[in-house]
Structures are given as C-alpha cells and as structure tokens.
Structure 1
Amino acid sequence: MTTHEPSTHAVRKTSTTLADGRELLYFDDSEPWVSGEKTRDLVDTRPLPASESLSQIRLDVLTGDWVAIAAQRMDRTFLPPPDASPLAPSRPGRPPTEIPAADYDVVVFENRFPSLAQSAAAQHLPSHVDDEELWPLAAGTGRCEVVCFASDPDASFASLDLHRVRTIVDVWADRTEALSALPGVRQVVCFENRGREIGVTLTHPHGQIYAYPYLPQRTDAMIRQSRLHRDRTGRSLLSDVLATELRSGRRIVVDTEHWVAYVPAAARWPVEVHLAPRRAVPDLAALSTAERDALAGVYRDLLRAVDDFFVGVDEVPYIAAWHQAPVGADRDLGRLHLQLFSMMRSPGRMKFLAGSESAMGAWINDTTPEAIADRFREVLA
C-alpha cells in the first residue's frame, strides 16, 4: 500500500454487484453522495445470466506475442442510439442500463464482454492447442473494466471540469492498485478510445482498464530495450529519454514543476505526444497528491490541444494510454508515462495501417516529430 499526503479532494467509493455478479463501483465527488448523506443502495433488477468468460490466450510462436481469443465479444453492443446506451444512468421511461443509479459522478464496472476475466480460470483447458507443444494455451485471466467519466452522454473528457478530472485521476490510481494485486496480473493499463473512426462502439464518454496476465507487445519490447540500456549504461532508459528530450527542448510542448509533455523523437503517428512525471514512479497509484493535482490540468489541456490540432475539426479521434510498470518481475525497468495519439493525418483523412505497418510492422510517419511539436505549442499557447 502506497501512502500519500492528505488530499483536500474528497472521493467516496461504494462497491455493489450487478445482477450477473459483476462488480460495480461508484466514485462520488459531489453531494449528497460524497459525504454519505445519501448512500448508493440501488439494486440491479435485470434478468441477466451469471457472468462467465470463455477467454483464452494463445502464444504466437512466430513473434512471441500472446493473443487473446475472446469469442464472446463478437455480439457486443454496437453504436446504440443515445437513449439506449448501456453506459447511461437508469432513468424512468428507459430500459435499465449497466448503472442502476439515475445519476452518477464516475462509475467503474467489470466489462460485460471482457477480453480477459478472472472467471476464465474456471475453464478446463489443455496446456497446448491440439496437444501440440508448439502452441501454448492458457485461460484468459485478468480483468477488463469500464470507466464512465460522466453521466452526460454528450460530454467529453476535455469538456469536464477540473474537479471531475481530478476524481478520475484518483479512480485510475485506485483501480491500478487494486488490479495489480489480482493473482497472475502482469500489467495494468488505463486507456481511452475516442471517435468512431478508430472503432469506438459506444459514444458515451468512457475509458477502459485492462489487467493483463502477460506483458503486451509494446511493454515487452520496452522492457527488453530498458534491460539492454541498463546493462550498457547502468541507467533507466525511460528516465534517459525524458532527460534527453528536456536537454534538446526541440520537441517539448509542456514543461511544468511535476509534468513534462513532449513529442517523441521517433513519433509514429501524425499526432502524438507523451506525458511523463518528472519524478520516476512506476504507476498512477504511486503519484503524490501534488502530482495528481497538477496532472488534472495538464492532461485536460493536452486533450483540448488534440481537438484544436486541425483547423475545422471539432473532435479529433484519439487513443490515450497510460503505460505503467510491470507487476512483479522487471518492475524496476518500467516508468509511468502517457502515450496520446491520433490516426488523423489531416482534416477528414486518416492514417490507415496497411501493408508496411500491419503486415510487416515497419512504421512510416507522414510528418516529422518537430512539425507535430510546433503545432502543439501553437495550439497550447
């Protein structure tokens, strides 16, 4: 358990269970909930069958990557009308949703169509596909959670007030700590997908948190590179990246007491910026109160800058993912940082990952990192 200095930002957490046994958590930062004057004693009355997962993971022996096989996700909800969103509050005159309350501040619940779940461990799976030693197989254990940022279906993360953004920072930290303690979890990643252009199936403002039972491909590669760098220099690779970007200054877009945002020297996306705390910490749960307070403003500013990046585009599609240190082995090689990027390369035009990127993993960027940084500084000024 990490100890932090007292915070004046009050958040009340209430845990309950949905009709199919999945956990739901209310994180309240407004009255009458935050003081406990009114409690969350709502019951989910939907006739849902017990939640179960048939997820499994298989090793791609050609790359060393684990691939999650989650066939139960094939028929998940896809772009329902606003009055039928499963992430909206449950209100009279509408079918009940995933959230029994008629209003809420921030809500977290286990995904109804998870890629990974603790219940997957109940499967009786062989250790290999077709009993062939070449193809390792395991249950897709872990956990996938949905984080609803606001009850308003028309809100966006960038439109939230700082009080609510600060609450979400605490929610990320809380869930990171809780999920990191689950058996077999190797990494916890908090992320948001925004925009139909990148495949978002629910437009309600929300993000997700994945607790993986293995190191995802990008993390595995970063850990390998970090180990090589430490063996060669005795230093932390991710800390050296931040120090080098600060020394150059060419791609720095935000430089504050606690946080630094920069466009990486080998940016892959036409819009990409990374955000890192000055202090080396493994994950969001390890941030101090002052660092969390500062993060609320800096992060919201970056999201607004993404929306302002292209003239004439009101909402730029993006992915925002928090890279956190592995749980257990190699934790000392990781370091918290955000990767925020968009596939949009110009108004109305997307960067599609075709032959070179998708088939060969050979990345090509259509602009320069320095030009990306110049534009970010312009819209942040």
Structure 2
Amino acid sequence: MNINTVPHRRYNILTGEWVLVSPHRTKRPWQGKQEKRPQLDRTKYDEHCYLCPNNVRASGVKNPNYESTYSFINDFSALLSDTKKAEYNDGLLRAKSEKGICKVICFSSDHSLTLPLMDVMAIEKVIDLWQKEYLGLGAIEDINHVQIFENKGGMMGCSNPHPHGQIWAQSSIPREAEKKTRQQKSYWDKTGGSLLQDYLLQELDKKERIVVENKDFLALVPFWAIWPYEVMIIPKKHYQNIGQLSTDEKKNFAKIIKEITTRYDNLFLTSFPYSSGIHQAPTDGSEHEEWHFHMSFYPPLLRSATVKKFMVGYEMFADPQRDITAEYAAQALRDASNVHFSLDRLTVTEIVNADEIKVSETLTDETVNSTITKQ
C-alpha cells in the first residue's frame, strides 16, 4: 500500500484509536474562510495587560516586578482547591465534585515575546518552573494529575497575548492521560519496555517523520498525527516526568522547543498558533514505570497563515481525519529555516515586496521592526 496516495487509517499506539488519512484531498481547491494574517506585536510592556510586571490583574492583585518567569493561581480557575467531596446520582444522571488547582505560568516579563523569539536560557527557566510546579502540585494530597499546557494565538482561544501557559492539577485523571496510561501499561506488561522508546527507535531507523533531533530529544510528526503539522517531542531516555531531567537535558529540551516553534513560524511567515501540552505520569502515588513523558503541539494551520483546519463534521461524529500525510508535514518542517523570519533580513524583504511596500535595499533594524509590525 502506498500510504502517500491511498486513503487509509493509521493506528495511534498511545490512545488505541484510529485516524483516517486522505492524501488525495490535498488537491481540492479552498474556498472556505481565510483569517487575517496576525501581526507580530513588538510592545515589550503593555500597561493594560493583566500579566505584565507591576500591573494590577482583574482580581485586584498586583503582579510583582518579575524579570523572567512568574506563576500564580488563576484568578478565574476552572478548578478550586476548597471544593468539598460530593456526588449527585439520580438514575442515569450522575455527577461528582472535582477538586483542583489552576495556575498561570508567565514565560517572560517581555510582553512581545513568544517561545521561538526567546533565547534558550530563558526557555530553560520556563522548564525549571514547569518542573517545580509539576513536583510541587503533584505532591499535594488529592492531586493525582498535573497538566501543563499552552494555547498560543487568538485562533486557539488565547485571551491574552502575553507569553504564558497554564497548569491544571486535579484529583481525577483526565481521559487522554487515562488512555495513554492504559496503552503504555499494556505494552510494558507484555515487553518490559517503554512503548515510546521502542517507537522512537523505529522512527530513528526510518527517518521519514523526524523534524529535528539532538543528543537528548527527538522531535517528529507522529505516524498517527491528527492536526496538519502536529509534532511530538520525546526524550531519548525513558523518563516518567520532566522532574527527572538533568541540567544538560533541560538545555537540550529548551533548544528543541525553540527550534520547533521557530520552524512553525517560518512555515507560513506568521506567529504560528497551536495548543501544546506535556503528558507525563499521573501523581496518584503509583510508580508508573510504564510512562514515557512527551510534549505535543497541535497547530490548526493547514495551507497558509490564513487557512486553518479544526476538528469538524466527520471528525466530530466519526473519527479524526487529515489530508496531508505525516511524512509530508515532517518534510515541510525540515525544509523551514531555523532562523526566525522576523530576524532574517532576506525574508523581511520578501514580505515587504509581497505587500508592495517600498523600502531601501539595505534594511535597518528600525525598518525591519516597523515592517514586521505592519505585517
């Protein structure tokens, strides 16, 4: 079977579910909705931003004058730490109370930055905070799962452009983590090995879906990817959670996060929207030796900076479906530059010309910034 031309289904080893792949549909014309290209905001400090240093949030609490990372309990938390245990049971109608803690993680004091525009050392500090929060929240009684995630861009429902992510820690184990625990545990019991580590070795052998790798991490488009340019970052060593990373491994984790997010932005010359999340072992007191932590990026852009693809129609009522193959997506990301387009003068010139803006042949930093801001 030629998986690059024939409609087929692919199996997700982490969830036990299938995705329909229809590579021939990439030839169809697009007459659907197209969004405006988002602008790159160069504002380092916004007096109206609830997340900038020294500003007062909607709750009336004032942020400290932080210089790098900063975390706090979400003022509008989806879960509350003082929720009492209770149940509702009325025949087929059932409900249980859910206890938890939701935190906001500010990546930087600079309002204008995103992960691809941060330096590696700054991203390392974000990872330091992720480690601290995962271990700290996970140690709390009744907190059995800690979910770290980021929604980047208004297209993904992000309510504030300041660089930040979230952590939701709760008493129950969510559905996605439960499925991945079951699949990894089944494989561990059968083979005595890590499911993702064995998958990683197979991908290293084939080299079809790998985007970038370094000494400690591999970034690839998974064989079973659902989102158009979905990427998974996997540590080469079998670690259950990010708290086990050494100093050198954290640096390489930061490097590969920066490289993937930079290639995302360069793919369509835009601040690439996505939802990313780190899946790691539950914090329910069990060892979970079967777990192999990983970070996933789910971006909706399909053909350009203005054409997106969300889960609708067939995907909502039947199975997930995608058009471009994982192999095609991996090649496109490999071909993208690892130098951010806003810092590449040649790329800026191309953007300027595309918008029919007349500038001098030699672009100054001021011209570059104003051009990108306009774009």
Opposite residue 287 of structure 1, the aligned amino acid is L
1:167 to 120, 125, 128: 125
Map of 2:353 onto structure 1: none
Aligned counterpart for 1:127 among listed residues 67, 81, 87: 87
Distance 2:210 2:234 in 1: 11
Aligned counterpart, 1:41: none
Offset of residue 228 of structure 1: 2.7
Mark the CA change 1:257 to 1:86 in structure 2 (over 3 Å): closer, same or farther.
same
Contact 2:50–2:58 under 8 Å retained in 1? no
Say whether residues 1:332 and 2:289 are aligned partners. Answer: yes
Preserved contact between residue 86 and residue 97 of structure 1 (Cα < 8 Å): no
Report the alpha carbon displacement of residue 326 of structure 1 after superposing the two structures with TM: 1.4
Question: What SS does structure 2 have at the residue aligned with 1:166?
Answer: helix
SS in 2 for 1:193: strand
Answering whether residue 159 of structure 2 is matched by residue 201 of structure 1, we say yes
| Deviation by residue 1:54-87 (Cα, 9 ceiling, x = unmatched) | xxxxxxxxxxxxxxxxxxxxxxxxxxx9532211
- Out of 203, 207, 216, which is 1:245 matched to? 203
Aligned letter for 1:300?
K
**What is the CA distance between 1:105 and its match in structure 2?**
1.8
The separation in 2 between residues aligned to 1:332 and 1:379, in whole angstroms, is 37
Q: After superposition, give the CA deviation of every residue in 1:186-236 in whole Å (9 maximum; x if it has no partner).
A: 221211110111111111111111113222222111122223323433332
Aligned in 2, Cα 1:222/1:213: closer, same or farther, shift over 3 Å?
A: same
Using the TM superposition, give the Cα deviation of residue 243 of structure 1 relative to its aligned residue in structure 2, in angstroms: 1.8
Determine which of 340, 343, 350 is the counterpart of 2:300: 343
CA distance in 2, matches of 1:188, 1:133: 32
Query: Is residue 274–residue 340 contact of structure 1 (8 Å, CA) maintained in 2?
Result: yes
| Mapped partners of 1:227, 1:102: distance in 2 | 45
* Structure 1 pair 91–330 and aligned structure 2 pair: CA distance change class (3 A): closer
TM-score by length of 2: 0.73
Gaps of 5+ in 2: 1-44, 339-375
Shift of residue 163 of structure 1? Answer: 2.0
Q: TM-score, normalised by structure 1?
A: 0.71
Structure 1 residue 108 corresponds to structure 2 residue 71: yes
Task: After TM superposition, list the pairs within 5 Å mapping 1:181-330 onto structure 2.
Answer: 181-310=139-268, 313-327=269-283, 328-329=285-286
Percent sequence identity is 28
Report the counterpart of residue 366 of structure 1 in structure 2.
Answer: 323
Deviation at 1:247, TM superposition (A): 2.0
Aligned length: 292
Q: Which one of 111, 115, 135 corresponds to residue 153 of structure 1?
A: 111
How far, CA to CA, are the matches of 2:325 and 2:253 in structure 1?
27
Contact 2:185 2:291 in 1 (8 A): no
Please give the alpha-carbon distance, in whole angstroms, between the structure 2 residues aligned to 1:225 and 1:330: 16
**CA distance 1:207–1:132, shift in 2 (3 Å):** same
**Offset from partner CA, 1:160-182 (integer Å, 9 cap, x none):** 12221111111111111101101
Superposition deviation, residue 126 in structure 1 = 3.8
Compute the displacement of 1:315 (Å): 0.8
Q: Tell me by how many angstroms 1:368 deviates.
A: 0.3
Cα displacement (A) at 1:374: 0.4
On the 8 A contact 1:226/1:333 being kept in 2, the answer is yes
Q: 1:32 — aligned with what?
A: none
